[in-house]
């Protein structure tokens, strides 16, 4: 497995490359889930390890060496960089600038605006059916995480209502309404999706994407 901190001169120019990257201290992340924004859009990934100059991640969508990306950690910090190398479902990312790793990985319950930090979520636009109070209503999934989703719905729902969400390529999942505002509802899955389930579902609903 190649190092995710490449030593080639062409990849060491700029602020990050002023210090030999192979000597950066790597920090294991206990396989935490993060969000990776690339040319094809946003997807989740599993962060394997990270240093001040780069990171290594498991992905389920193909990426291209040199492709610009933005990594969003579960602490809500965003880091811009580029794909340095790809090997099957593992990618190495070189950051545009060096980062303070321990600060980025430090656990926080609230963001800088005082709002609760949620699990990484993806913006989507997918049809689904909400089953609640013995009725079925067509809804649109507007964003989704492993733990829940935001729905666009014309049906008035109440906090705490139990429901079932019937999603394409996933089937029915039991959930509970957490909030409702102006036609949008947030629901939490009673059993969160694990990463393999989420990755398989994303591949199914997004369709195959050929590597560039």
169 within a domain of the structure (yes/no):
yes
Beta bridge partners of 125: none
Query: Higher pLDDT residue, 76 or 157?
Result: 157
**Is the pLDDT at 19 greater than 50, yes or no?**
no
Would you say residue 209 has pLDDT above 70? no
Minimum mean pLDDT among 48-52, 68-72, 170-174: which range?
A: 48-52
Q: Which residues contact 52 (CB under 8 A, 6 or more apart)?
A: 24, 25, 95, 98, 99, 100, 101
In a domain, 115, yes or no: no
In this predicted model, which residue has the larger pLDDT, 13 or 95?
95
Domain region containing 166 = 122-206
What pTM does this model have? 0.74
Domain contains 181: yes
Contact between 176 and 190 (Cβ < 8 Å): yes
Q: Tell me the pLDDT tens digit for each residue of 89-140.
A: 999 999 999 998 877 776 554 445 445 556 788 999 999 999 998 799 999 9
Same domain, 87 and 139: no
Do 13 and 80 belong to one domain? yes
Q: How many domains, the chain?
A: 2
The CATH number of residue 77's host domain is 2.40.10.220
DSSP 8-state code for residue 190: S
- Domain assignment present for residue 110? The answer is no
pLDDT tens, position by position, 57-79: 999 989 999 999 999 988 888 99
């Amino acid at each position: 497995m190649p190092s995710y901190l490449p030593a080639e001169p062409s990849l060491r120019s700029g602020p990050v490359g002023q210090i030999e990257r192979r000597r950066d201290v790597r920090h294991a992340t206990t396989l935490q889930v993060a969000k990776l924004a690339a040319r094809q859009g946003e997807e989740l990934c599993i962060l394997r390890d990270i240093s001040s100059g780069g990171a290594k991640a498991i992905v389920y969508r193909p990426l291209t060496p040199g492709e610009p990306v933005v990594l969003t950690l579960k602490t809500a910090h965003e880091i811009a960089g580029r794909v340095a190398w790809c090997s099957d479902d593992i990618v190495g990312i070189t950051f545009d600038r060096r980062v303070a790793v321990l600060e980025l990985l430090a656990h926080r319950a609230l963001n800088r605006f005082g709002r609760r930090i949620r699990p990484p979520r993806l913006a989507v636009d997918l049809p689904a059916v909400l089953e609640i109070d013995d009725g079925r209503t067509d809804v649109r999934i507007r964003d989704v995480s492993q733990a829940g989703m935001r729905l666009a719905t014309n049906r008035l729902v109440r906090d705490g209502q139990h429901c079932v969400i019937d999603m394409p390529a996933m089937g029915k999942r039991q959930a509970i309404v957490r909030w409702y505002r102006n036609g949008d509802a947030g629901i939490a899955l009673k059993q969160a999706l694990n990463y393999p389930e989420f990755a398989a579902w994303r591949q199914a609903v997004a369709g195959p994407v050929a590597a560039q």
